[in-house]
Structure 1
């Protein structure tokens, strides 16, 4: 019996969202109609997934780095609230202020600017490489990895490989954190892969695949999830000697104007929750869509995460209509 359901490897971030009508263009002033650079919410893909799973009652081991020291008190208080180990959280120097600026237009499309990024690249000593200790991985049912700081990618790969713990890769198109050779290693290690349409197209082009199902040439791979935004999700999965496919509809949020930041991470949490609770692949996809719908209802990627009871209540509603 494993002590933890998930070890989550990735980053936390402070996120400032600026609302514009149209995306910036060179030589043209861009009015900002909401948001501020001095105000931020807590987010980041690693934190989003930790928070979503913990809120559902899963036992989570966070292995996180972060670039803005202003998050220190929040992150450690968050870990204590959900009875998570704190020794996998690597604190930055007190002067660190690397933050994420998201520019969002009226159609809810995003442009992301990551400040102080040079400090995160291999060779920089500002944050330091995080030691990926065996204890982070050996007592978990799954490792979930989303784009870590670039200098931590190879140590994480090596530690995951050494642990033998199944890997769920939440794909990100980030040539610094996930360059070709390291991404290839992660794909070979993965039992579950989550990617959106842009990311699956990228994987096909990057690795010369005729179609995304070709990733199942890796015998470790059991499930490949392609999220489709408002069209829901498509899931490929191994069933004996066959590669099967199922599709789940999107779940409508209970609000007039959805907020899309963090919705993909929410889907990952709902799907993985279903997976460790023995649900079918199709049920997992519905749970992913259901959790994502909560995230869409409020600005901020972790501000409206459901409890297990809330998730299952919404899931039962959509399952009857599926």
Structure 2
């Protein structure tokens, strides 16, 4: 990695987790069952990744637009206390920071309501070249298309490799822009359904068909089964491998597990680890985040991450069929 800093692009969100006893229906009152429904959890994919990397000792910062409530609601101190860089954050006066209401019924079905606020496309601000000084990796997650296109082009013009966290969001990633990201990102992360979506959308026999001189590595997560990677070698061959999961006896909340996996993997990548180790680091970090509500509440420091990996290394093995 050329520069020191990992720069992330994506939405920010003040998350509210709401659990209800029955499916939500128009004209009916649903009883909320979790007392934590009034608590605000700081999140958003780009925030989750920058926060986790910063706690692990990797300089990281998100490009965000926030409302002028970001000090009052504790978001600014939340970032600064973890060492997250805030110089790429723009404050939009008179706006409230973006918020999400994540509603889950007893069957595990989800409804998400999102207020974009300052992250809406109409508040788009061109990015200065100075933001990309000393940046060694750009990470693209879900944001408005205009924001991510600007970020992607800046990364390319500065020769910065891009890691792309795939999401099946046609508004954020319409077909042509998605194709550009898939053809020009150094690392691509997908889950199993997103991988199938890409293969179907572009008529690929396998997602490995997009590996190239630019696209080096594709990582796919398979939930409780584990994760796999495909990597293009200098001679054009493909290296493949997989790892299992790190045991998590008490899964409290799966929200943010994918971002945690990306963060652990990228921590290993920045540290020069091999792909098997990167995937095990991703699985380990994900196991921490599953233990509590919120995407960032149980993010470990570097010693805790490495300690848990060593404790479980012998049990991880390969991905289950």
Residue in 2 aligned with 1:53?
Answer: 53
Q: Offset of 1:106 from its aligned partner?
A: 3.6
What's the Cα RMSD here? Answer: 2.4
Q: Once the two structures are superposed, what CA deviation does each residue of 1:182-240 show, in whole Å capped at 9, x if it has no partner?
A: 22222222000111112112212222222211221x32111111111111111111223
Q: Once the two structures are superposed, what CA deviation does each residue of 1:121-164 show, in whole Å capped at 9, x if it has no partner?
A: 54x3xxx2122222222412211111123431221122111111
Gaps of 5+ in 2: none
SS in 2 for 1:185: helix
* Inter-partner Cα distance in structure 1 for 2:35 and 2:224: 25
* Inter-partner Cα distance in structure 2 for 1:25 and 1:210: 41
Q: Is the 8 A contact 2:42 2:296 kept in 1?
A: yes
Q: Offset of 1:84 from its aligned partner?
A: 4.4
* Inter-partner Cα distance in structure 2 for 1:190 and 1:7: 14
Residue in 2 aligned with 1:152?
Answer: 147
Compared with structure 1, are the counterparts of its residues 94 and 313 closer, same or farther at alpha carbon in structure 2 (3 Å cutoff)? same
Compared with structure 1, are the counterparts of its residues 72 and 206 closer, same or farther at alpha carbon in structure 2 (3 Å cutoff)? farther
Compared with structure 1, are the counterparts of its residues 23 and 189 closer, same or farther at alpha carbon in structure 2 (3 Å cutoff)? farther
Which has the higher mean CA deviation after the structures are superposed, 31-40 or 85-94? 31-40
* Inter-partner Cα distance in structure 1 for 2:77 and 2:36: 25
Which has the higher mean CA deviation after the structures are superposed, 293-302 or 26-35? 26-35
Q: Is the 8 A contact 1:138 1:165 kept in 2?
A: no
Q: 2:39 matched to 1:39?
A: yes
Residue in 2 aligned with 1:189?
Answer: 184
Residue in 2 aligned with 1:208?
Answer: 203
Residue in 1 aligned with 2:101?
Answer: 101
Residue in 2 aligned with 1:292?
Answer: 286
* Inter-partner Cα distance in structure 1 for 2:78 and 2:8: 15
Q: Offset of 1:277 from its aligned partner?
A: 1.4
* Inter-partner Cα distance in structure 2 for 1:97 and 1:18: 19
Q: Is the 8 A contact 1:14 1:71 kept in 2?
A: no
Quick one: which of 223, 237, 242 aligns to 2:237? 242
Residue in 1 aligned with 2:125?
Answer: 130
Gaps of 5+ in 1: none
Residue in 1 aligned with 2:63?
Answer: 63
Q: Is the 8 A contact 1:3 1:139 kept in 2?
A: yes
Residue in 1 aligned with 2:299?
Answer: 305
Residue in 2 aligned with 1:77?
Answer: 77
SS in 2 for 1:310: helix
